[in-house]
Structure 1
Amino acid sequence: MAGIPIINGINYSWASISFVLFGVPITQITKISYSRKQKKENNYGAGYDPVSRGYGNREYEASIEMYTDQWLQIIALAPNKDPLQIPPFPIQIIFGNDGEIPSKDVLQSCEFTEDPFTGSQGDTKLMVTIPILPASIDRSA
């Protein structure tokens, strides 16, 4: 089977991703993770084999890693300086290389669920990983 060539011979890399948070492009994000899952299970009746399949709720989770100084800027602008009080917001993840039409994932109705901090002696940069609760994930919006 012949392989499908990559458009322009260029694959996405970290440099081809941009992030929009609160309507502003954010450059100090160093990692993002998001996923959705759905419970699915076989239903049984007479005999050993399933007679149907049941589908449960979809669940969404996400997190971002960013430089602590960027997180502190978000905290400074949050209601009562508490990022857990920020109303639901979208996060846009835009994938694109030069000469390509960009695609976009949107994490909808996100809320921060923790306000963490960790630092260690000898750190040359301070990073923070913030868990996020999205209500849905729109792929290639």
Structure 2
Amino acid sequence: MAENTKFDSAQYSWADVSVSMGGRIVTGLTSVSYTVKQAKSVLKGRGNKGHKILRGDKEFEGSIKIWQSELQAMIKSAPGKDVLSLNFDLVVAYTPADGGQNTTDILVSCEFTEYKKEMNQGDTNMEIECPIIFLDLKEDQ
């Protein structure tokens, strides 16, 4: 008989997430997301069904949402005060307080593609979404 295998299905909460850039945990970060895509197509030949799935290039993209003060700090330290010229690894660590499984994802060689500052009546602070592209994702480090 097969042995029972147990999977840790505990979920992470936002309080369990730490994100660091440039060797510093970013406290003014309110959102992080990242996606890995791969171009795929079906190889067609004789008949009306595909024969194989072909794989192409991978793409890596995402975004972070940060406080305006965090963006200003990055602009100050960026070469030529151009935050779009920064290149950095983004380290996303999931560390549950209840002692569950820790995992860390490293987004390698990130760069911002754009940012937009916006304030609206009634806002108490400015959050800025910064889309990113990166070269690789090292998962579960």
Q: TM-score, normalised by structure 1?
A: 0.88
Contact kept in structure 1, 2:40 and 2:54, CA below 8 Å? yes
Contact kept in structure 2, 1:83 and 1:115, CA below 8 Å? no
Gaps of 5+ in 1: none
Matches within 5 A, 1:115-130: 115-130=115-130
The equivalent of 2:51 in structure 1 is: 51
Contact kept in structure 1, 2:19 and 2:92, CA below 8 Å? yes
Instruction: Please state whether the residue corresponding to 1:69 is helix, strand or coil.
Output: helix
- Alignment length, in residue pairs? 137
CA distance in 2, matches of 1:102, 1:55: 31
Amino acid at match of 1:30: T
Matches within 5 A, 1:1-141: 6=8, 11-86=11-86, 88-98=87-97, 99-100=99-100, 102-141=102-141
Please, what is the CA RMSD of the aligned residues?
2.0
Once the two structures are superposed, what CA deviation does each residue of 1:26-81 show, in whole Å capped at 9, x if it has no partner? Answer: 11100011010111111111210112221111111110001111111111111111
Deviation at 1:5, TM superposition (A): 7.0
Deviation at 1:6, TM superposition (A): 4.7
Moved over 4 A (4+): 4-7
CA distance in 1, matches of 2:31, 2:90: 13
CA distance in 2, matches of 1:94, 1:29: 13
CA distance in 1, matches of 2:49, 2:100: 48
Once the two structures are superposed, what CA deviation does each residue of 1:99-122 show, in whole Å capped at 9, x if it has no partner? Answer: 345210010010111132111122
Contact kept in structure 2, 1:16 and 1:95, CA below 8 Å? yes
Amino acid at match of 1:85: S
CA distance in 2, matches of 1:43, 1:5: 36
Instruction: Please state whether the residue corresponding to 1:12 is helix, strand or coil.
Output: coil
Instruction: Please state whether the residue corresponding to 1:84 is helix, strand or coil.
Output: helix
